[in-house]
Every structure is written in structure tokens, then in C-alpha cells.
Structure 1
Amino acid sequence: MSTAANRTPGPDHLWTVDEHLEDILATVRPLEPIELQLLDAQGCVLVEDITVPVSLPPFDNSSMDGYAVRVTDVAGASEEFPAVLTVVGDVAAGRAEPLHVGPGEAARIMTGAPLPPGAEAVVPVEWTDGGLGDGPVTGMRARSQAPEAAGGQVQVYRPAEARAHVRATGSDVKAGDRALDAGTILGPPQIALLAAIGRGTVRVRPRPRVVVMSTGSELVQPDEQLGDGQIYDSNSFALTAAARDAGAIAYRVGAVADDAETLRDTIEDQLVRADLLVTTGGVSVGAYDVVKEALSSVGDEDEAGAGIDFRKLAMQPGKPQGFGSIGPDHIPLLALPGNPVSSYVSFELFARPAIRTLMGLDDVHRPTTRATLTTDKALTSPKGRRQFLRGTYADGEVTPVGGAGSHLVAALALADALIVVPEDVESVEPGTEVQVVLLR
């Protein structure tokens, strides 16, 4: 990781959103791959292409409970003139019975059982009398028939075409096919496929471990009693949830008081379980904003490349930001502002892409689109800053929710998009097409 001094154009430089993001993404590197058991790999990103070693299904099998038959033996079958066949035995799933279906014969077969030699199709049990000789079997009765004994007879009341109700070998995937590409995030369907083709382990990049902590002596944990001048700590909950939504394993640390030594000790204690640290609060210029003081000496100060750079961004909300690395392992740290909307917007713009980069994904950003602004009055934006307003998006239209205030948590809870107002725009009229970042 490059040093903060190398990254910083100067102490008075006003960073653009793009410059800050580029600095983060140029610094953060994907985690090293590891081999994991399938269930442990859920949510991780593949680092290898997966080739199918054996076709799925590996053999022709029945998609129904019924009777395996020859097509010619049931041709023209009807309820008035059923085909009467001799049952030569049962074929159950997971059992390879040495049965052969010859002329005038049928084998009772269960769903998933291999199609026996000689058979060309499967007739569902509902198309038969179930071997009882008293009409087609339907409803509960169709599911409750006892297995046929070899030598009995079954009446078939409908014809069947060749391969009817037969799942062909390789009809899902064939041996040698590409099952999954490197870069795939493993969810339940992908894990099912890996198990189905016999893979018990897989090589992936692990989910990043993200430690989130709020700072501020005024913060109280939910369910505790508020005192004078105190507020509940919502940021650490919001950002921990956001980190998990991004794909990380996230750990929330309770709010840390405005004491540099306490904060420094807390951060150092968390380094052992962190691939990324995210703090919120204490990055402004107030007398009690102690994050700068604490992070100036956290970890190994003599370690080359370590250090946190605090900077101002040309954006609203979220002007004060910090980024760098700490400790001997150069753990990246993002210091976000403390106002709830500022911290969340900053997380979406900077921390989420960092997490997705650690995962090894190529596309690390939220999707964006263009939408028509629907509002009663023009939106205003400070000149020279890129503004991110909360909004709701649907059917190509976006409507602002709440105001521009960075404390409006209730409005944030209603939003599913961010309306982007460029740096060189000071007013946006209703009906204007705007860029939108989709949050869900």
C-alpha cells in the first residue's frame, strides 16, 4: 500500500468523489484464495472455472412414478381397450435391478430410478389400474399402491410416445461442460450444482471480515436509557448491515467514547479479525473529533506504508473522509463521517466497492440508471460539490424523499436510490433526466 503522503496532492486539496474512490480501489487488493467446504463457501467468489466431471443426470431415469414400457406394447391403449402387460419387477431409485423389459412386459418404476434396458417410455401410474384391474388409478389411491410383485399384470389405459417421462442422460449438463465460471458468487443454486456434480470443496476468495465501530461519547446502545444530550447509536448497526449486504462477514463494535487512547486500543484489538476497518464519526474539525488523533499512531508506526490520510471531498453529504492502512499487515481503514446519512452514503460510495474488491469481483459498484425527476419544485445543489439525494425509484422515474439534511434517518429508510447531482449543476428542474444509483 502506498503511503498517505504519496497519495495526498496537498493538505488543502479538495478531492473529488472519483479521486477518492480511485485511491481506495487502487490500494485494496482481493483476498488470497482458499479451499473451503461447500457450505462454508456460500457467499464467496469462485477463483476457478468448474467443469462437469459427470453428466447430469448420469443415466436415463424416470420423471414419474409409473411403469417402464415398450412403445409398441401400449400403442392404441384406451380405457375401453387397455394394454395388459406382465409386470417383471420393480425399479427403485438408488437400486440397479437386473431387469429387462421385453415384449408384453412392464417394470414398475419410481421417480429418479434408471430406465431398465428394453423400456422406451414411462407411463404414469395414473394412466394404469395399478395392477388392481379396476380402472385408472387417481388421487391419493395413485400414491398408495403397494409395489407390484413380479408376474402380476397391469392395465395401461393410454399410449405413450418414445422417451415420454424419461429424463435423458446429460439433459441437465454434460460431462465436459462448463458448470460455473470463475468470478461467480456462490449462492444456494450454485452450491446445489457443485454438490450434484460431486464437488465437496471449492477454491474461492473468502468473504471479507469487516469491523465496524462508531465513535462518540454521546452514543447509547438501543434498549438503554437515554440521558441528557445522548442519542442512540444507529450508525454501527446501519453500516454492519450494509457490510453484510455487500457480502462481508461483519462485526459490530459498540460505540467508543471520545478518548483517543481508548479508541486506539479498541482498533488495535480488532486488527486480528479484520480485512477492512470502518469507523464512523470523529473525522471533522471539532474539538472532540478524536479519530484523527487516535489513528495517527495506531498499529505499527514504523511500518512502511502505514498511515491514515484525512481529506475533504467535493460532495454532499460526506465531505470529511479518511482512508489509509494501519498495523503491520496494512489493514485498510475507512474513516467515515458521523451523521447518519453521511455515513451511509459514504459507505455505499466507498466502503461497498472496497468490500467487493476484497471479494475479487470485477463489478464492484451499485447499478446506475437514468430516470426522470418527479418533484413539485426544483432541486438545489451547492456549486462545486456532487450531491447525493435520497429518492424512490420506479418505472423510470425517481422522487426525492426527505431533504438534504444529513441527519434524516427516517427519510433514508424510505429511499431505494440516490439521486446524483453533478458538481457543475446548482438546480435541477422537475422532469429533468438525472443519474440514479440503485440501492436495492
Structure 2
Amino acid sequence: MRTVAEHQAVVSALFGPPVPVRLSLSEALGRATFDDVDAPLSLPGFDNSAMDGFAVLADDLAGASPDSPVTLPVAADIPAGRTDALALTPGTAHRIMTGAPSPAGADAIVPVELTDAVVGPVAAAETVTFTAPVESGKHLRRAGSDIARGERALPAGTVIGAPQVGLLAALGIAEITVARPLHVVVLSTGSELVEPGKPLRHGQIYESNGAMLTAAAIEAGAIGRHVHFVPDNTGDFLARLDQVAGEADLIITSGGVSAGAFEVVKDALSATGSVEFVKVAMQPGMPQGCGHHTASDRPDGTPGPTVPIITLPGNPVSALVSFEVFIRPALRAAMGLPPQRRRVTARLGADIRSPQGKRQFLRGVLRTDEDGSGVVDPIGPPGSHHLRFLAEADALIDVPTEVDGLAVGSAVDVLVLR
């Protein structure tokens, strides 16, 4: 059998390096910057007030006290958004709002609450009285104090979230170069599958893998599309692959890859010789396949596109664990995103058994013990059809190949899913 690490390497080789694309800020959310982003301007772009109050020269208030107040004439009002440049004459004050440009010559802002001025939207007083000195630079936001023009705003590989969007917008950047998101098409195969919401006949089941794997691809940062219900017919299956090959960077199927008599995926793709079907020494998820599908020539004679394809087992737990172990890291790396989920070491909350010679991924729930240490409780039986316990799990317990059992309290490696 192929080891998990060996199959991970094979799957990773299906993907090329990240490709740059220019996107608007809203479209770039969740994407990774392709290059360093340097600030095209400084933030703030000008000296401005951090408070509603009065712009002053600190030396004018050096002797101010309750017993010896200093009264200055108010020479100007500066609301936020005022665009003409003002200069403060020594011995005067300017009433100023938060974010408004500080007048040249002013070196401090006194909050309105520390003066005799009336708080609120009233007409400006002709004078203002101060009863305490102010430190030079107080409540002044200096130009470039956040970031200077030409300084690195975001390094390459930064995942764009709300704070990054805020910074880029403040810098006047409307578009950014990020690693292109990949388009993943998930095909649901099986004549027994029925769309949720419709009645079931005996021997039929509701289709879940396609919806689940499409959601997993989207959660991983890709653009996912689910193509429903390809019947168990090799001709229909190959025709549907040809239809979606032009739009997909990756095709994922589930089911039809074992050793049964009606394994449509394996039968159809084995004939082309471009997909390799193997057994991987893991549980769940032993039967795996991956390679490339080349679509039939187009009507004008031009060659059809070639797209990577990964065929997963059909049991739902096997399918999603396989996605987590093989596809998610490689898919995210190809989009310039951090490829791995967080891994932690935790103590087992119960004894476990594991098939020797296979690397097992058990569903688990993480918790914190009384002493503050991490504990992971295995949940559910090992059968790969127990979808309920997969939905409850927030971790996968990674049990090494050579281990056939571990006692409660043993340290284990845990892949954190949420």
C-alpha cells in the first residue's frame, strides 16, 4: 500500500504554483496577497486632531491654572473635511473636530471638556478659557504616524480579512494582486442518489457527499460548484467530465473507486490510463485515485482541456477525511493560502484501538481538563458511514501506522477542524 505521506505528495504534484490575478477589495476577501503591498501614501496623510477641542500652541498655556486661567481668542473653526490650509497665530486658538487637519503652527489639542466652551453643536464662542497647561504633541495625530509612504503595508502571502481591507481602502487602493482562487467542480455519481427534499424509494439514499465536498472546497478558499447525479454509466460519466473540464481547475468525485462490480468512476477512468487508482494505508479512506482527465476534442478539432481529477471513496466519513488529509492542504497551497490546519498535542480521554499497519484518523472532540491541559475524546464507532459523529467532531486524532492501541492519557497528535 501507498503511505499517507506518499499519496499526499502525489496529490500535491497535481497542482501548479499560485497564479496572480487582479481583484477588487471585496473580491479579494479571503485571498492571499501575491506580492508585497507598499503604501502609496502616508496615514494619516496630514497632522490631524484626535479629539474634539481646540488647536493651540502649548507655550501659550504654559502658565494656565485654575487660579490663573488663560483666555485666547478663537480665530477659526476647523470641521473634518475642511480642505484649505490654515495657520495658527500664536496667542490664538482654533476650534477643531476629530480628524480635522491641524493648522500649521499648532502643536497640541485641548479637549473641549477641559475648557469653558459649551459642548455640542452650538455657535462658536469668540474666546475660550484654559485652566491647565498642555503637553506639546498631546492629542495630535502626526502625518505618517500609522504608516509612511513607501513602507510595506502587507507582505506577500497575507490573507485578506476585514482589517486588511480597511487598511488598503484607507490607502486608496481599489484593486490588489492576489493568488487566483481555483474553481473546483464536485461530481456526485450513483444511480441510488436522490436530491434532498424528494421522496425516497426502497434502496435509494439522499445525496450528501457532493454537497459536503463542495462546502469543504469553499471553506478551503476555492470556488466550488456541485454537479448533481451522474448515473452509474461510464459513457454518461465521461461525457459529464468533458462538460465541466473547461471550467474546472480541479474535479473531485466520490464513490465508484473500490473493487465492486459497478465502480463507474474506476471503470471509466482506468480505460484512459491517466488516473491512477491505489490503496493508501489509512483508515478511513483506503481506496484513492488521482491523475488528469483530458476532455474529448472540440467540434472545431482543437484539443479538449486537461484538468486534474481526484477520486475519493464513497462513504461520507472516508470522503471528508480524505479531503482534509490530501486535498485541502494542496488546494490551499495552490492558492497561496496557509495549507495546514492547526495541529496540537492532547491527551486521550479514552482508550483507543487502531488497525496496525494503517494510519487512522479518529473523530474527536477537544476540551480543556481541570488542570488546563488539552484532552481529546474519541467519539463514535470507526465505521466510515457514521456521518452524525463526523458532524459532532471538531478534531481528527492522527494515530500513527505502527500503533495498534493507546491508553487513556496518552499524548496524541490532533488535527483541529474548527
Does the TM-score normalized on the shorter chain lie above 0.5? yes
Percent of matched pairs sharing the same residue: 48
CA contact (8 A) 2:115 2:131 kept: yes
Write the mapping of 1:89-168 to structure 2, written as runs, cut at 5 A. 89-130=76-117, 137=118, 142=119, 144-148=120-124, 152-168=126-142
Equivalent positions of 1:285-434 (< 5 A) are 285-296=259-270, 307-327=274-294, 328-361=304-337, 363-375=338-350, 378-395=351-368, 396-434=374-412
Contact 1:386–1:423, Cα closer than 8 Å, also in 2: yes
Structure 2 CA distance, aligned partners of 1:45 and 1:326? 28
User: How many angstroms apart in 2 are the aligned matches of 1:225 and 1:347?
Assistant: 29
For 1:80 and 1:255, the matched residues in 2 are separated by 86
Report the Cα distance in structure 2 between the residues aligned to 1:407 and 1:355, rounded to whole angstroms.
25
Where structure 1 has 5 or more consecutive residues not aligned to the other structure, the ranges are 1-13, 131-136
Give the total of aligned pairs.
404
CA distance in 1, matches of 2:355, 2:325: 19
Q: CA deviation at 1:249?
A: 1.0
TM-score by length of 2: 0.91
Q: Is the 8 A contact 2:245 2:306 kept in 1?
A: no
Which whole-Å CA distance do the structure 1 matches of 2:361 and 2:354 have between them? 9
Cα distance in 2 between the residues matched to 1:232 and 1:125: 67
Q: CA RMSD in A?
A: 1.9
Mapped to 1, the partners of 2:66 and 2:365 lie a distance apart of 60
| Counterpart amino acid of residue 169 in structure 1 | A
Contact 2:87 2:105 in 1 (8 A): yes
TM-score of the superposed pair, with normalisation by structure 1: 0.87
CA distance in 2, matches of 1:147, 1:235: 67
Structure 1 stretch 179-188 or stretch 423-432: which is displaced more?
A: 179-188
Q: Using the alignment, how far apart are the partners of 1:153 and 1:91 within structure 2?
A: 15
Does 2:50 match 1:63? yes
Partner deviation per Cα, 1:34-65 (whole Å, 9 max, x = no partner): 22222222222222111223221121111112
Question: Deviation of residue 274 (structure 1)?
Answer: 0.9
For residues 371-417 of structure 1, the C-alpha deviation after alignment (integer angstroms, 9 at most, x for no partner) is 11111xx2111121100000012342111111111111111111111
Seen in structure 2, the aligned counterparts of structure 1 residues 420 and 83 have a Cα distance that, compared at 3 Å, is same
Q: Which residue of 2 aligns with 1:193?
A: 167
Amino acid paired to 1:384:
G
Q: Distance in 2 between matches of 1:426 and 1:145?
A: 76
Secondary structure of residue in 2 paired with 1:294: helix
TM-superposed CA distance for 1:82, in Å, is 4.2
* Post-superposition offset of 1:107: 0.8
- Please state whether the residue corresponding to 2:257 is helix, strand or coil: coil
Indicate the SS of the match to 2:275. strand
State the AA in 2 paired with 1:116: P
CA distance in 2, matches of 1:421, 1:42: 35
CA distance in 1, matches of 2:203, 2:242: 29
**Cα pair distance change 1:288/1:69, threshold 3 Å:** same
How far apart, CA to CA, are the structure 1 residues paired with 2:333 and 2:82? Answer: 48
1:264 shift after superposition: 1.8
Q: Could you tell me which amino acid in structure 1 is paired with residue 401 of structure 2?
A: E
Q: Is the 8 A contact 1:391 1:399 kept in 2?
A: yes
Q: Secondary structure of the residue that 1:287 maps to in structure 2? A: coil
In the other structure, the counterpart of 1:170 is 144
**Cα pair 1:88 1:99 within 8 Å, conserved:** no
Partner amino acid for 1:293? Answer: D
Matched AA of 1:309: E
